[in-house]
């Protein structure tokens, strides 16, 4: 053997970087430096996942949109080449239409689109304002410091999605705990499966009750599709599960992480605090979505026919990952991308994805965040972090980035 004749073979540097990569400890809002390095090098590169597979990573904004808008890429996790999830055993189950392709994806999505239309969502704004004001009243009346995640960030989207779906908010501790397990990167497949089955069983029960006794809520309109023979009980449950999870975990993380980002950028916070211009509040929301990128592990797809991206052919059966985190920091599209600037026009960001799977709930998320960012710092102008930034626990371990807790005082 060559080893015995000429000593051990020299180590060949590993050219394919591992994904996901760690963030730099001192920059919790920035993408991992190695990821930005890859963006600077090429629009497309191979990465290695935990199981040894090597999908393509698309690093730049234009190319990410090209792939996500291409009907020859599939969101179906069963397709050959679909990149495995971020950790062993993660997300093996199908979560309704987010993991399907057209025409079935479109057929199911259409069934639940109506309540998320801009007009419908705007009609909810006064109710969301009341929720936000009520939670701030409670915080102001209670002891300090308070955990902003528990007292404010989680209840707002949970209350709203419960109201829309017709899920009793009194059960929020049950589904929030289970959702936390479902999106925890280090949860075992068994833990994740159990949590998902618990919530699914609970929702299936609620849908069953709506079949017998419909109400004026989204679960009842989903149940009506079962009655009409368009979907079965299982499909209805998966759809409700998708809406419940997507509807609260994401927005809650944007509220807490966004607040922290503003507290760490006092100049920007001062601008926001003193404005009564709804346009500036709206642009703050877009900029924070661009800057923070809470769905930090990327859109994943399998390529079903050969496609050419930036001169490189991605073959049918290969996997591809689009990390919006670096697309939204692409200097070609967002000048000085690492600066949080609430006055910039960030509306082209891809924090809600792109293409047919673009976030269904984005009008709702936007409205909730506008109410929050337009209210919290004006009503509590002295809001401050009640611990050192180094002591804040970031959700490196979750599919959706954010903070586990945010102790604040005023």
Applying CB under 6 A, the residues found at the interface with ligand HEM are 75, 97-98, 109, 161, 242-243, 246-247, 250-251, 254, 294-295, 299, 351-353, 357, 359-361, 364-365
- Tell me the C-alpha distance between 316 and 306, whole Å: 5
Minimum CB distance to ligand HEM, residue 51 (Å): 20
For the chain, the helix, strand and coil percentages under 3-state DSSP, each to the nearest 5:
50, 10, 40
| Residue carrying the six token digits 């289970």 | 178
- Tell me the C-alpha distance between 277 and 380, whole Å: 18
Minimum CB distance to ligand HEM, residue 120 (Å): 12
Minimum CB distance to ligand HEM, residue 244 (Å): 8
Residue closer to ligand HEM, measured from CB, 59 or 74: 74
Residue closer to ligand HEM, measured from CB, 187 or 360: 360
Residue closer to ligand HEM, measured from CB, 195 or 254: 254
Minimum CB distance to ligand HEM, residue 140 (Å): 26
Burial 55-89 (b: 16+ CB within 10 A, else e): bbbbbbbebbbbbbebeebbbebebebbbbbbbee
Residue closest to ligand HEM when measured from CB atoms? 361
**Residue 307: in which H helix or E strand, if any?**
strand 307-309
- Tell me the C-alpha distance between 219 and 236, whole Å: 9
Minimum CB distance to ligand HEM, residue 357 (Å): 3
Residue closer to ligand HEM, measured from CB, 281 or 365: 365
Residue closer to ligand HEM, measured from CB, 352 or 410: 352
Contact 342, 271 (CB under 8 A): yes
Crossing angle of helices 218-227 and 189-212, in 10° steps, is 80
Residue closer to ligand HEM, measured from CB, 242 or 385: 242
Minimum CB distance to ligand HEM, residue 116 (Å): 7
């Amino acid at each position: 053997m060559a080893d015995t004749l000429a000593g051990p073979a020299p180590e060949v540097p590993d050219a394919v970087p591992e994904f996901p990569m760690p963030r730099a400890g001192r920059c919790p809002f920035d993408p991992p430096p190695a990821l930005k390095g890859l963006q600077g090098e090429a629009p497309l590169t191979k990465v290695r996942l935990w199981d040894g597979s090597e999908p393509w990573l698309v690093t730049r904004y234009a190319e990410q949109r090209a792939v996500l808008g291409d009907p020859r890429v599939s969101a179906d996790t069963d397709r050959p080449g679909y990149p495995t999830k971020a950790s062993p055993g993660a997300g093996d189950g199908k979560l309704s239409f987010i993991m399907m392709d057209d025409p079935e994806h479109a057929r199911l999505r259409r069934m639940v689109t109506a309540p998320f239309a801009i007009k419908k969502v705007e009609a909810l704004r006064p109710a969301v304002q009341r929720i936000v004001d009520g939670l701030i009243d409670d915080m102001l009346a209670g002891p300090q410091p308070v955990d902003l995640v528990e007292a404010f960030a989680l209840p707002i989207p949970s209350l709203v999605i419960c109201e829309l779906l017709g899920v009793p908010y009194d059960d929020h501790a049950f589904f929030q705990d289970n959702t936390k397990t479902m999106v925890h990167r280090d949860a075992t497949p068994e833990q994740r499966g159990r949590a998902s089955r618990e919530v699914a069983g609970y929702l299936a029960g609620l849908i069953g009750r709506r079949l017998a006794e419909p109400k004026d809520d989204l679960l009842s309109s989903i149940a009506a599709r079962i009655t009409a023979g368009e979907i079965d009980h299982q499909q209805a449950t998966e759809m409700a599960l998708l809406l419940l999870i997507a509807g609260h975990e994401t927005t809650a993380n944007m509220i807490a992480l966004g607040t922290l980002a503003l507290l760490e950028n006092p100049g920007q916070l001062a601008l926001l605090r003193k404005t009564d211009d709804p346009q500036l509040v709206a642009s703050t929301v877009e900029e924070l979505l661009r800057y923070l990128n809470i769905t930090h592990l990327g859109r994943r797809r399998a390529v079903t026919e050969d496609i050419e991206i930036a001169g490189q052919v991605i073959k049918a059966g290969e996997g591809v990952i689009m990390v919006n985190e670096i697309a939204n920091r692409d200097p070609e599209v967002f000048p000085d991308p690492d600066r949080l600037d609430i006055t910039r026009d960030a509306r082209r960001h891809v924090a809600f994805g792109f293409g047919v799977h673009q976030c269904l709930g984005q009008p709702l998320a936007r409205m909730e965040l506008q109410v929050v960012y337009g209210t919290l710092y004006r009503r509590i102008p002295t809001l401050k972090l009640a611990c050192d930034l180094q002591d804040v626990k970031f959700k490196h371990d979750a599919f959706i980035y954010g903070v586990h807790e945010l102790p604040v005082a005023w």
